[in-house]
């Protein structure tokens, strides 16, 4: 190493949600860490901003995420204690859609698989409990009480401050130009301000990942996303104590939203908004009237009491993989380089545990966490193909092509014997107006019990479900 180069144990490229958490975790372990960020810390050009980010346990994308989420919650709470501020707000979460839709069915299966406390409500029952919601009566919603949101800017700052306090070095406004292996088995990083060496390198560059990792070309695709904050006509219905965060599958697409917090307005957006992909340096164009009208039309239909004047429109980026799952792996040629692209619009909630995973990999090349789902080989070998109406990966059923395919739920949305008996006692042309469900996993992991009740008539028994 020449005299102008500086040596670290690990260099982390990208100090957003994942990178800042990695810097923090490595510094906690006594490692000498350098974090390099091309923009400010924090900044609003990527995927780690927006005041609030949803966190939820009943994970319809794939139940295997739940164990990572359980650890993420623990780490968020630990960070809160060390930072001395509240970073995680619990509101409950709603995953809703048609009875046969994959958002509801995937969330229900996730709750059953992991014995998560939950309730199932139809549209009328949901509106009765949370009046800000006005979903169709035949919508089914899974309510999970541990859902809520993380404060991304504050969390990133807490990670960075924690890393700095433990001896890490963090540089903002410093762009990586190139990197490569050294003769001694380490890595050399060249930026527009200096040259550095380390034993290992972690790349967590978000929408810019493919520029630094040619293996991700076409597999980590930046996409423009637009969010709206509207002033509710009845603001009291959209406060954290009365409005759970939501993921909602409707004919117009899949939407997500959060209560009023930190800045004025009820916040929401549409997954994959207008499907605009491109260069991350030019993708964040100013929101347009068309962006606004798309979002306002959705709110007017399903959240009419939230559809007052527009307060804020903002653009951010998703970085999508073909199957909607994360990519966390080792560089295909240089074993001292690791990368994380937990992205596809559902990553920030995992930042705390991703930091732990990447620190494990940087230190010893392995982690106790199960990250088999996120290996790069599944995409490079053609195990997953671009999402489309006919895409049905082996062993899975695609309920909807607009997003990551969930596992095929192994339980119907309601118990056949019980619900059919109860529905025959009602008007056959009308669904229960205020139906709710309490589900628990029976002793056998392949069977479950669901008990339905109604404001007009109680179901006399629960019926066991034979899971597919």
Is the residue at 366 inside a domain?
yes
Is the residue at 158 inside a domain?
yes
Q: Which residue among the candidates 38, 45, 53, 188 is catalytic per the annotation?
A: 53
pLDDT of residue 381: 66
* Catalytic residue check, 52: yes
For residue 186, give Cα distances in angstroms to 112, 179, 193, 334: 45, 11, 20, 9
Is the residue at 365 inside a domain?
yes
- Domain of residue 180 covers 6-46+153-219+323-380
The answer to whether the CB of 5 falls within 8 A of the CB of 337 is no
pLDDT of residue 5: 75
* Catalytic residue check, 316: yes
Is the residue at 341 inside a domain?
yes
Q: How many domains does the chain have?
A: 1
Q: Which residue among the candidates 270, 272, 273, 431 is catalytic per the annotation?
A: 272
Question: What CATH number does residue 15 fall under?
Answer: 3.50.50.60
Is the residue at 468 inside a domain?
no
Q: Which residue among the candidates 10, 52, 200, 319 is catalytic per the annotation?
A: 52
pLDDT of residue 178: 98
Three-state SS across the chain?
A: CCCCCEEEEEEEECCCHHHHHHHHHHHHCCCCEEEECCCCCCCCCCCCCCCCEEECCCCCCCCCHHHHHHHHHHHHHHHHHHHCCCCEEECCEEEEECCCCHHHHHHHHHHHHCCCCCEEEEHHHHHHHCCCCCCCCCCEEEEECCCEEECHHHHHHHHHHHHHHCCCEEECCCCEEEEEECCCCCEEEEECCCEEEEEEEEECCHHHHHHHCHHHCCCCEEEEEEEEEECCCCHHHHCCCCCCEEEEEECCEEEEEECCECECCEEEEECCCCCCECCCCCCCCCCCHHHHHHHHHHHHHHCHHHCCCEEEEEEEEEEECCCCCCEEEECCCCCCEEEEECCCCCCHHHHHHHHHHHHHHHHHCCCCCCCHHHCCHHHHCCCCCCCCCCCCCCCCCCCCCCCCCCCCCCCCCCCHHHHHHHHHCCCCCCCCCCCEEEEEECCCCCEEEEEEECCCCECCCCEEEECC
* Catalytic residue check, 349: yes
Is the residue at 63 inside a domain?
no
pLDDT of residue 401: 26
Q: Which residue among the candidates 28, 49, 188, 378 is catalytic per the annotation?
A: 49
pLDDT of residue 340: 97
* Catalytic residue check, 438: no
The answer to whether the CB of 451 falls within 8 A of the CB of 462 is yes
Q: Which residue among the candidates 270, 273, 349, 423 is catalytic per the annotation?
A: 349
Task: Give the pLDDT of the chain (468 residues) as one tens digit per residue.
Answer: 445 679 999 999 999 999 999 999 999 999 999 999 999 999 999 899 999 999 999 998 887 799 999 999 999 999 999 999 999 999 999 999 999 999 999 999 999 999 999 999 999 999 999 999 999 999 999 999 999 999 999 999 999 999 999 999 999 999 999 999 999 999 999 999 999 999 999 999 999 999 999 999 999 999 999 999 999 999 999 999 999 999 999 999 999 999 999 999 999 999 999 999 999 999 999 999 999 999 999 999 999 999 999 999 999 999 999 999 999 999 999 999 999 997 788 999 999 999 999 999 999 999 999 999 999 999 986 544 433 222 222 233 222 223 343 333 333 333 322 232 232 222 333 333 333 333 332 223 332 333 332 222 222 222 222 222
* Catalytic residue check, 272: yes
The Cα 39–Cα 177 span in angstroms is 14
Q: Which residue among the candidates 38, 118, 267, 431 is catalytic per the annotation?
A: 267
pLDDT of residue 380: 83
């Amino acid at each position: 190493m020449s005299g102008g180069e500086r040596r670290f144990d690990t260099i982390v490229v990208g100090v957003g949600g994942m990178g800042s958490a990695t810097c923090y975790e490595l510094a906690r372990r006594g490692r000498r860490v350098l974090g390099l960020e091309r923009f400010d810390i924090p900044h609003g050009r990527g995927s780690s901003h927006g005041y609030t980010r949803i966190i939820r346990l009943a994970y319809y994308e794939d139940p295997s995420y739940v164990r990572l989420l359980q650890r993420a919650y623990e780490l968020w709470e630990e960070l809160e204690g060390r930072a001395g501020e509240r970073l995680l707000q619990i509101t409950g979460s709603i995953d809703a859609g048609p009875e046969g839709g994959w958002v509801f069915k995937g969330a229900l299966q996730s709750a059953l698989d992991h014995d998560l406390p939950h309730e199932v409500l139809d549209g009328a029952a949901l509106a009765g409990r949370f009046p800000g919601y006005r979903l169709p009566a035949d919508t089914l919603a899974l309510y999970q009480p541990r859902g809520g949101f993380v404060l991304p800017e504050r969390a990133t700052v807490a990670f960075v401050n924690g890393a700095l306090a433990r001896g890490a070095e963090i540089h903002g406004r410093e762009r990586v130009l190139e990197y490569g292996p050294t003769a001694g088995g380490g890595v050399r990083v060249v930026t527009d301000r200096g040259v550095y060496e380390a034993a290992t390198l972690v790349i967590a560059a978000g929408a810019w990942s493919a520029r630094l990792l040619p293996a991700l070309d076409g597999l980590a695709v930046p996409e423009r996303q637009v969010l709206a904050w509207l002033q509710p006509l009845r603001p009291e219905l959209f406060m954290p104590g009365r409005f759970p965060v939501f993921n909602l599958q409707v004919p117009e697409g899949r939407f997500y939203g959060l209560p009023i917090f930190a800045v004025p307005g009820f916040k929401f957006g549409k997954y994959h908004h207008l499907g605009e992909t491109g260069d991350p340096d030019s993708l964040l164009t100013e929101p347009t009237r068309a962006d606004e009208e798309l979002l306002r039309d959705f709110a007017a239909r399903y959240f009419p009491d939230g559809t007052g004047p527009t307060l804020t429109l903002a653009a951010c980026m998703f970085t999508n993989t073909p199957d909607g799952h994360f990519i966390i792996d080792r560089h295909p040629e240089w074993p001292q380089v690791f990368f994380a692209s937990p992205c596809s619009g559902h990553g920030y909630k995992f930042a705390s545990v991703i930091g732990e995973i990447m620190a494990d990999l940087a230190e010893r090349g392995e982690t106790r966490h199960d990250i088999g789902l996120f290996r790069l080989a599944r995409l490079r070998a053609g195990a997953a193909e671009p999402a489309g109406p006919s895409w049905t990966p082996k062993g899975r059923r695609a309920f909807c092509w607009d997003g990551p395919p969930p596992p095929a739920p192994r339980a119907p949305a309601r118990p056949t014997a019980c619900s059919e008996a109860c529905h025959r006692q009602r008007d056959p042309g009308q669904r229960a107006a205020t139906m709710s469900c309490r589900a628990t996993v029976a002793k056998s992991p392949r069977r479950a019990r669901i008990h339905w009740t109604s404001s007009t008539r109680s179901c006399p028994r629960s019926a066991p479900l034979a899971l597919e």
